[in-house]
Structure 1
Amino acid sequence: MKQYSAKRSIQILAHILKQYGIDKVIISPGSRNAPLAIHFSEIDAFQCYSIVDERSAAFVGLGIAKSIRKPVAITCTSGSAATNYYPAVVEAFYHNVPLLILTADRPVDFVDIFDGQTIRQKNLYQQHSYGDFELLEDAEEGADDHNFETVKKAVELCIEKSGPVHINIPLAEPLYNLVDELPFFPRVEPSIRKKNYEMPSTLIADWNISKRILILAGTLAPNPELETQLAQLVKNHTVVVLTETNSNLAHEKFFAHIDRYVTDFSETDYYTYAPDLLITIGQNVVSKRVKQFLRKARPTKHWHIDEHWQPDTYNALTQKIETKPQVFFAQLLKSVNLEPRPFFNLWDVLKDKKDAKHEQFLKKAPYSDFYLFYQLSKHIPENYKIHFSNSSAIRYAQLFDFQKHDVYCNRGTSGIDGCTSTAMGFAMMEDDPTILITGDISFFYDINGLWNRYIPPYTRIVIFNNGEGNIFKIIPGASETNALDEYIATQHNRNAESVAKTFGFDYTKVEEEITLDRVLPNFFKPNPKPKILEVMTAGCNNADVLKQYFSELK
């Protein structure tokens, strides 16, 4: 027999989530949120997942939301549990991933009287959420009407803004009273407004008079419609399209390896290759080199196209276009001149030159992090979806061809803290296999990302273990300080073998090139358990290899 929570606030909450199709709930253990755990787990419409560590749980929810592209609910007990959600909340805020945060709380009059597990939870995420709400306890006057409207508003805001929204839920004891039947609640009438966009005629005029049009794509979810539209724009060499690995856009006439092409730009080059019209789409751009180029180039006009964010990243923003890129380009293509422009050929000559030097370096690249990424780009089967961790991993990925895969990375805040948890949450939802490619520091930081019994056996993790945060030997400045090894790069001699065993992963360690070349093809074969491949590169002078690569591109 089903047993539901007797708390009407929880009954209303679940009813409304069900009406909006929010059916994935990540539950972390606790007593104060027991009514939510009991209630959601008893309703067939919800799929519930138990993740103990709240910091990991929130990132798992974020990964699920990235996969299914709709809101995911996460719920925890009161006190410090709620604060552990914050890293994922910030990532979701800047990356526009819809998380509905349900924090159980002590009654309002318990705050600041030193009762156990009681902090100031109301508005806890105010700086990094799209809305902060609090429900009334059942006994308060007008609680049902207030809670119904509050939850409805919160859910619609989460959907509309595609980002984190917080509902704080004070719950008085008793917490474990149950009922075997649910009351009737009215059907929810959605009131989300549909946004319409009409392109101003001035933009069409600006496009037609521009001689040097450059489109830069940052972080984007896979979008075949947008990819087709941009392909039309480059067909006749009308524009230059620069993409990144996690732009998820592929075409033979796109320029997919920005750092290859702009790495050694001189002051003259900044002018030579500068656009007069810059159009940016997507969110966070990984390449520091392209940011430096465009800030120095100072295009005459800069349009940014995004539903949610309009950042002046290049100190040149002239037009904020608040819509989806595919909506904008659908209208643009009907009206503008698509004649060839010499600007494309200028960039194409540069591309051919740099690509040739890239291929020359690959022939002599030694065993190293660089070599590993080259091999991965050749061996990962096409049906795999790739998650890159932050720091070195996503930067190495920029240099190689991963365009045949859907690619993901937590670039909202670019932190290493939840990369594994996010990838595992994503993997839980996918029929196709997921591979996480991660550095050692990122992996060990988020070990609890593997404390998850829902990880499919076809999941793969590749760790490149260079024994430190090697990124700090790549970026300028850090290597000049005596604090580098111990306090910045944090050198270590750990490996992941015991971690893999603890969490039920098959494990293989590689320490040199011949073994890597032999092991890598077999790594993707079916197996009853998920697999970890750890590639040890601590003695390889990885930073020097990468610096030599960029030096030989000149």
Structure 2
Amino acid sequence: MKQFTSKRSIQILAHMLKEYGIHNVVISPGSRNAPLAIHFSETDDFNCYSIVDERSAAFAGLGMAKSEKKPVAITCTSGSAAANYYPAVTEAFYQNIPLLILTADRPADYVDLFDGQTIRQQHLFQQHSYGDFQLLEDDAEGADDTNFNLAKKAIELCLEKCGPVHINIPLAEPLYELLSELPMYPAVEKTIQKKKYEIPSTLVAEWNLAKRIMILTGTRDHSKDLDMQLQQLVKNHSAVVLTEVNSNLNHPKFFSHTDRYITSFTEEDFRTYAPDLLITVGQNVVSKRVKQFLRKAAPKQHWHIDPHWQPDTYFALTEKIEVSAEAFFGRLLNFIALEPRTYFNLWDVLRDKKDEKHLEYCRRSSFSDFKLFEILSYKIPENWHVHFSNSSAIRYAQLFDFQKYHVHCNRGTSGIDGSTSTAMGYAMKNPEPTLLITGELSFFYDINGLWNQYIPPYTRIIVFNNGGGDIFRIIPGPASTNALDEFILTKHQRNAELMAKNFGFGYTRVDDEETLIRVLDNFFKPDSKPKILEVDTSAVENAEILKDYFRHLD
């Protein structure tokens, strides 16, 4: 016999989630949120996932939302459990991933009385959420109508803003009173409105008058429509399109390896290759070099296209276009002249020169982190979805041809803390295989990302272990300090073998190029359990190899 909570606030909330098609719920164990856990797990409309560590659970929910492109609810008990959601909430906020955060709480008048597991939970995520709501307890006057309206507003805000929204739920004891039948609740009249976009004639005129048009795409999901639209713009060399590995755009005439091309730019080059019209699409750009280039280039016009964010990243923003890139370019292409511009040829000559130097270096480079990423760029099967951890992993990926894969990276806040959990959450809802490529510090830091029973057997993880946070040997500054080894890059001698065994993953370790190439084909073959491949490059001067690469490009 089914058992449902007697708490009407939770019954109403569950009804609203069902009405809006939100079916995935990540539950972390606890007592105060037991009514939510009981109700969701007993209701046929929800897919429930139990993940103990709240920090990991929130990132897993984020990964699930990325995979299915629809909101995921996460729920936990009160106190520090709720605070542990915060890293994933900030990532979801800056990446516009729809998370519905359901935190159970003590009654409001228990706050600051030193009652167990009680903190100031209301508005806990206010700085990094699109809305903060607190339901009324069942015995409050008008509670049902108020909670119905609050839940509706919160869910619609989560859908409209495509980002995190917090619902705090005070629950008085008893917590375990149950029902076998639920009352009927009314259907919901949805009030989300879609925006229509008409392009201003002034923008069409600016495009047609511009001689040097650059389109820079940052972090975004794959879009077949945008890919085709931008292909039309480069077909006749009308614009230069710069992409990054996590832009998920792919065409031979796109400039996909920006750091290769601009790393040795002089002050004169900044002027030579500068656009007069810069159009930026999507969110966070990985390349620090391209940010420095465009800030110095100071384009006359800069349009930014994104429904949610219009940051003045390059200190030149002239037009905020609050619409999807597909809607904007779909309208723009109806009005502009697709005339060739010599600006494209200028960049094309630069690309040919730098790509040849890149290939020269690859032919002579030895086993290292650099060589690993070169090999992976052609050894990963084409239908795989690839997640890169932050720090050096995503930066190495920028240098090679990963454009044929669906690429993901937590570039909202660019932290290493939830890369594994996000990738595992994504894998749990993705019918195609998922691969995580991660540095060992990011992997060790988020090891609880493997602590759940839902990771499919076709999931793969490649850990490149260089014995510490090698990024700090690459970027300028840390190497000049006495604190480098112990306190900045955190030198160590750990490996992932026992961790893999503990979580039921297959495990292979390699420390040379020949063995790596030999084992990769088998590594990607189907198996009864997920696998970890650890590539040990700790004996290699990886930072010097990468610095030498950029010197070779000069």
The separation in 2 between residues aligned to 1:262 and 1:311, in whole angstroms, is 23
Pairwise mapping of residues 211-250 of structure 1 onto structure 2 (< 5 A)? 211-250=211-250
Q: Which secondary structure does the structure 2 equivalent of 1:16 belong to?
A: helix
- In the alignment, structure 1 residue 406 sits paired with structure 2 residue 423: no
Pairwise mapping of residues 266-345 of structure 1 onto structure 2 (< 5 A)? 266-345=266-345
In structure 1, the partner of 2:50 is 50
How far does residue 336 in structure 1 lie from its aligned partner after superposition? 0.3
- The one-letter code matched in structure 2 to 1:50 is S
Q: Which secondary structure does the structure 1 equivalent of 2:357 belong to?
A: helix
Pairwise mapping of residues 372-411 of structure 1 onto structure 2 (< 5 A)? 372-411=372-411
- The one-letter code matched in structure 2 to 1:34 is A
In structure 1, the partner of 2:3 is 3
- The one-letter code matched in structure 2 to 1:401 is D
Q: Which secondary structure does the structure 2 equivalent of 1:130 belong to?
A: coil
- The one-letter code matched in structure 1 to 2:537 is T
In structure 1, the partner of 2:128 is 128
Alpha-carbon RMSD across the aligned residues, in angstroms, is 0.4
In structure 2, the partner of 1:259 is 259
- The one-letter code matched in structure 2 to 1:540 is V
The separation in 1 between residues aligned to 2:348 and 2:2, in whole angstroms, is 65
The separation in 1 between residues aligned to 2:195 and 2:88, in whole angstroms, is 28
Q: Which secondary structure does the structure 2 equivalent of 1:421 belong to?
A: helix
- In the alignment, structure 1 residue 506 sits paired with structure 2 residue 506: yes
In structure 2, the partner of 1:161 is 161
Q: CA-to-partner distance for each residue in 1:266-295, whole Å, 9 max, x for gaps?
A: 000000000000000010000000000000
- In the alignment, structure 1 residue 442 sits paired with structure 2 residue 442: yes
The separation in 2 between residues aligned to 1:532 and 1:54, in whole angstroms, is 24
Normalising to structure 1: TM-score of the pair? 1.00
- In the alignment, structure 1 residue 370 sits paired with structure 2 residue 370: yes
Q: CA-to-partner distance for each residue in 1:227-281, whole Å, 9 max, x for gaps?
A: 0000000000000000000000000100000100000000000000000000000
Q: After TM superposition, which residue ranges in structure 1, 4 or more long, deviate above 6 angstroms?
A: none
The separation in 1 between residues aligned to 2:163 and 2:266, in whole angstroms, is 40
In structure 2, the partner of 1:533 is 533
How far does residue 65 in structure 1 lie from its aligned partner after superposition? 0.3
In structure 2, the partner of 1:21 is 21
- In the alignment, structure 1 residue 89 sits paired with structure 2 residue 89: yes
Q: CA-to-partner distance for each residue in 1:153-208, whole Å, 9 max, x for gaps?
A: 00000000000000000000000000011101110000112112111100000000
The separation in 2 between residues aligned to 1:197 and 1:441, in whole angstroms, is 45
Q: Which secondary structure does the structure 1 equivalent of 2:374 belong to?
A: helix
Q: Which secondary structure does the structure 1 equivalent of 2:204 belong to?
A: helix
Q: Which secondary structure does the structure 2 equivalent of 1:363 belong to?
A: helix
- The one-letter code matched in structure 2 to 1:240 is V
In structure 2, the partner of 1:30 is 30
How far does residue 521 in structure 1 lie from its aligned partner after superposition? 1.6
How far does residue 512 in structure 1 lie from its aligned partner after superposition? 1.3
Aligned-pair identity in percent equals: 71
How far does residue 29 in structure 1 lie from its aligned partner after superposition? 0.0
How far does residue 23 in structure 1 lie from its aligned partner after superposition? 0.3
Q: CA-to-partner distance for each residue in 1:277-318, whole Å, 9 max, x for gaps?
A: 000001000000000000000000000000000000000000
In structure 1, the partner of 2:459 is 459
Q: Which secondary structure does the structure 1 equivalent of 2:289 belong to?
A: helix
Q: CA-to-partner distance for each residue in 1:64-107, whole Å, 9 max, x for gaps?
A: 00001011000000000000000000000000000000000000
The separation in 2 between residues aligned to 1:14 and 1:207, in whole angstroms, is 49
The separation in 1 between residues aligned to 2:305 and 2:256, in whole angstroms, is 20
In structure 2, the partner of 1:359 is 359
Q: Which secondary structure does the structure 1 equivalent of 2:74 belong to?
A: strand
Q: CA-to-partner distance for each residue in 1:318-366, whole Å, 9 max, x for gaps?
A: 0000000000000000000100000000000000000000000010111
Q: Which secondary structure does the structure 2 equivalent of 1:172 belong to?
A: coil
- The one-letter code matched in structure 2 to 1:499 is M
- The one-letter code matched in structure 1 to 2:376 is L
The separation in 1 between residues aligned to 2:116 and 2:522, in whole angstroms, is 52
In structure 1, the partner of 2:74 is 74
Q: Which secondary structure does the structure 1 equivalent of 2:364 belong to?
A: coil
- The one-letter code matched in structure 2 to 1:42 is E
Q: Which secondary structure does the structure 1 equivalent of 2:303 belong to?
A: strand
Normalising to structure 2: TM-score of the pair? 1.00
The separation in 2 between residues aligned to 1:184 and 1:207, in whole angstroms, is 56
- In the alignment, structure 1 residue 152 sits paired with structure 2 residue 152: yes
The separation in 1 between residues aligned to 2:526 and 2:69, in whole angstroms, is 28
How far does residue 515 in structure 1 lie from its aligned partner after superposition? 1.2
The separation in 2 between residues aligned to 1:472 and 1:351, in whole angstroms, is 29
The separation in 2 between residues aligned to 1:175 and 1:161, in whole angstroms, is 33
The separation in 2 between residues aligned to 1:167 and 1:528, in whole angstroms, is 39
- In the alignment, structure 1 residue 518 sits paired with structure 2 residue 518: yes
The separation in 2 between residues aligned to 1:317 and 1:307, in whole angstroms, is 16
In structure 2, the partner of 1:490 is 490
- In the alignment, structure 1 residue 176 sits paired with structure 2 residue 166: no
- The one-letter code matched in structure 1 to 2:79 is G
Q: CA-to-partner distance for each residue in 1:7-41, whole Å, 9 max, x for gaps?
A: 00000000000000000000000000000000000
- The one-letter code matched in structure 1 to 2:340 is P
How far does residue 513 in structure 1 lie from its aligned partner after superposition? 1.6
Q: Which secondary structure does the structure 2 equivalent of 1:22 belong to?
A: coil
How far does residue 144 in structure 1 lie from its aligned partner after superposition? 0.2
Gaps of 5+ in 1: none
The separation in 1 between residues aligned to 2:431 and 2:311, in whole angstroms, is 36
How far does residue 452 in structure 1 lie from its aligned partner after superposition? 1.2
Q: CA-to-partner distance for each residue in 1:432-475, whole Å, 9 max, x for gaps?
A: 10000000100000000000110000000000000000000000
- The one-letter code matched in structure 1 to 2:378 is K
Q: Name the stretch that deviates more: 506-515 or 487-496.
A: 506-515
- The one-letter code matched in structure 2 to 1:220 is R
How far does residue 520 in structure 1 lie from its aligned partner after superposition? 1.4
How far does residue 394 in structure 1 lie from its aligned partner after superposition? 0.2
The separation in 2 between residues aligned to 1:300 and 1:18, in whole angstroms, is 49
- The one-letter code matched in structure 1 to 2:111 is V
The separation in 2 between residues aligned to 1:519 and 1:194, in whole angstroms, is 50
The separation in 2 between residues aligned to 1:338 and 1:488, in whole angstroms, is 50
The separation in 1 between residues aligned to 2:165 and 2:266, in whole angstroms, is 45
The separation in 1 between residues aligned to 2:159 and 2:467, in whole angstroms, is 42
- The one-letter code matched in structure 2 to 1:277 is L
In structure 2, the partner of 1:99 is 99
- The one-letter code matched in structure 2 to 1:17 is L
In structure 1, the partner of 2:550 is 550
The separation in 1 between residues aligned to 2:120 and 2:484, in whole angstroms, is 38
Gaps of 5+ in 2: none
The separation in 1 between residues aligned to 2:510 and 2:525, in whole angstroms, is 17
How far does residue 539 in structure 1 lie from its aligned partner after superposition? 1.1
Q: Which secondary structure does the structure 2 equivalent of 1:386 belong to?
A: strand
Q: Which secondary structure does the structure 1 equivalent of 2:166 belong to?
A: strand
